[in-house]
Amino acid sequence: MKFSLTFGFGLLSVAAAKSTVNGTRFSIDGVTKYFAGTNSYWISFLTNNKDVDTVMDNIAASGLKILRVWGFNDVNRKPSSGTVWYQLVSSSGSQINTGADGLQRLDAVVNSADKRGVKLIIPLVNSWDDYGGFKAYTTAFGGSKEGWFTNAKAQTQYKAYIAAVVGRYINSNAIFAWELANEPRCKGCNTDVIFKWATETSAYIRSLDPSHMITLGDEGFGVPGASSYPYGTSEGTDFVKNLGIKDLDFGTFHMYPSSWGVPNSFGPGWIKDHAAACKKAGKPCLLEEYGTQSNHCTEEKPWQQASRALVADGMGGDAFWQWGDKLSTGQTHNDGHTIYYGSADATCLISDHVKAINAL
Ligand SMILES: *[C@@H]1O[C@H](CO)[C@@H](O)[C@H](O)[C@H]1NC(C)=O
């Protein structure tokens, strides 16, 4: 009896981890392969469950397995009722909103994803000011954005928020990975600042939740291979050094050549250089955001080809920015990068990509 009990628990703990790494690839629900995904920052703030389900149905039907959604919505003042917010950050008492206009909206996303086998990457703070971000913390506790990483009061509240979100979904099979932040940068800082913060925060998350993957969410700046701006460490991240952090399970990088002042032909090299670093570290790389503002199909197809071709050499998957759909309230946010479900762009960058992956 005792043996079978112990055995039973062993099975349970293995079964809980539905998304894992397997060498330099990802494994989802027991399948190890290259995975395609997308981003929908806004799905976490929808107030109509039917809209959440529509998006999740369409993503699942498209063959995309990974969906990255915002897991934060920080405010310094409570908005009027009906507006979604997750955390009030305040020097006179912060508050995590577990109500109907709070984390229950994220619950709807997690539940909907779970029913459809879609796996979520959940970043826990934004480095940008959208939906609060580091700025919401520095507004409450003082200091600069670069000081956020070492601001004791900010870090204490950030950890309290992490504990609330991670604890809420600790047993969920819908979680692909926890992500420390969306695009953390520390301009002009020594790369030790982000390295130390990422080491400490990832160890903290692991102590709370040993079975889900953890990743950084950085743009992949600071990698060997070339000398243009993205390859340098001026934004405070050293990709290779951070990849060595024990509790970070895989590497993330983003790609927006036109915003970075490089041509779109920059893409395949950027992918190859990250894949090489990941292969060396023995962890998968995820190209977790990429996009162009025009000629989506022509410009982005070669990036997807380059990434897929490195399936045995460090690339675990990719997730384009961003998913577009039609909701009860109309079309979702068109930021120029959006690939709308059912469009010719979607045939090119989703259907064709998924077919090519399945043929690998
Ligand atoms: C890891 O991948 C290899 C090669 O595809 C496969 O044979 C093995 O079963 C995978 N392991 C797990 C735990 O998924």
Q: How far is the CA of 306 from the centre of ligand 1 (A)?
A: 23
97 found inside a domain: yes
For helices 103-116 and 49-61, the axis angle rounded to 10 degrees is 30
- Please name the helix (run of DSSP H) or strand (run of DSSP E) that holds residue 252, with its range, or none: strand 251-255
How does pLDDT run across 173-213, given as a tens digit for each residue? 999 999 999 999 999 999 999 999 999 999 999 999 999 99
Distance 72 CA to ligand 1 centre (A): 34
Long-range contacts of residues 54-57, Cβ cutoff 8 Å, at least 24 apart: 54/325, 54/326, 54/327, 55/323, 55/325, 55/327, 56/109, 56/112, 56/113, 56/115, 56/116, 56/118, 57/116
Any ligand 1 atom below 6 A from CB of 237: no
Is the confidence at residue 354, as pLDDT, over 80? yes
| H-run or E-run covering 206 | helix 192-208
The arithmetic mean of pLDDT across residues 130-151, rounded, is 98
Residue nearest to atom 11 of ligand 1 (CA): 22
**Three-state DSSP class for 305?**
helix
Q: Is the pLDDT of residue 12 over 90?
A: no
- Give the pLDDT score at 5: 38
**pLDDT for res 215:** 98
In this prediction, residue 286 has a pLDDT band, given cuts at 50, 70 and 90, of very high
Dihedral sign (CA 193, 191, 133, 207)? negative
* 29 CA to centre of ligand 1 in angstroms: 11
Residue 11 reports pLDDT greater than 50: no
Q: Is 6 within a domain?
A: no
Atom of ligand 1 nearest to the CA of 30: 14
Is 33 touching ligand 1 by the criterion CB < 6 Å?
Answer: no
Asked, for residue 172, whether it belongs to a domain, the answer is yes
Provide the pLDDT for residue 6. 38
Could you give the count of Cα atoms lying within 13 Å of 9 in the half-sphere of its Cβ? 5
The verdict on the CB of residue 32 being under 6 Å from ligand 1 is yes
Ligand 1 contact via 22 beta carbon (within 6 Å): yes
Q: Identify whether 183 is a catalytic site residue.
A: yes
What CATH number is associated with residue 156? 3.20.20.80
Confirm whether 16 is domain-assigned.
no
Percent of the chain residues past pLDDT 70, beyond the cut: 95
Contact between 337 and 289 (Cβ < 8 Å): no
Q: How far is residue 9's CA from residue 310's CA, in Å, rounded to a whole number?
A: 37
> Cβ neighbours of residue 87 under 8 Å, at least 6 residues apart?
72, 73, 74, 75, 94, 95, 96, 97, 132, 136, 161
Indicate the pLDDT class of residue 17, thresholds 50, 70 and 90.
Answer: low
Which tokens in the block code for residue 214?
């953890």
pLDDT of residue 140: 98
The number of helices, as runs of H, and strands, as runs of E, in the chain is: 11, 18
**Strand ordering across the sheet containing 25-28:** 19-22, 25-28, 31-33
**Taking Cα atoms as reference points, which of 109, 70, 102 lies closest to residue 84?**
102
For residue 200, report the phi and psi dihedrals to the nearest 5 degrees: -70, -45
What mean pLDDT is predicted for residues 41-47?
98
Report residue 7's pLDDT band, with 50, 70 and 90 as the boundaries: very low
DSSP 3-state of 239 = helix
Domain membership flag for residue 14: no
Whether the pLDDT of residue 3 is over 50: the answer is: no
What are the structure tokens assigned to 304, written together? 């997807």
Q: Which residues form the domain of 51?
A: 21-358
Give the residue, by CA position, lying nearest to ligand 1 atom 3. 32
Task: Please report whether residue 13 resides in a domain.
Answer: no
Catalytic residue among 219, 235, 288, 289: 289
What would the pLDDT profile of 63-121 be if each residue is shown by its tens digit?
999 999 999 999 999 999 899 999 999 999 999 999 999 999 999 999 999 999 999 99
CA of residue 289 to ligand 1 center, whole Å: 26
Residue 1 inside a domain? The answer is: no
Number of domains into which the chain is organized: 1
Averaged pLDDT, 9-26: 71
* Cα–ligand 1 centroid distance for 32 (angstroms): 6
Residue 124 lies in a domain: yes
* DSSP category for residue 148: G
pLDDT of residue 4: 37
Mean pLDDT of 17-41: 96
Mean pLDDT of the 275-294 span:
98
Mean pLDDT of 291-308: 98
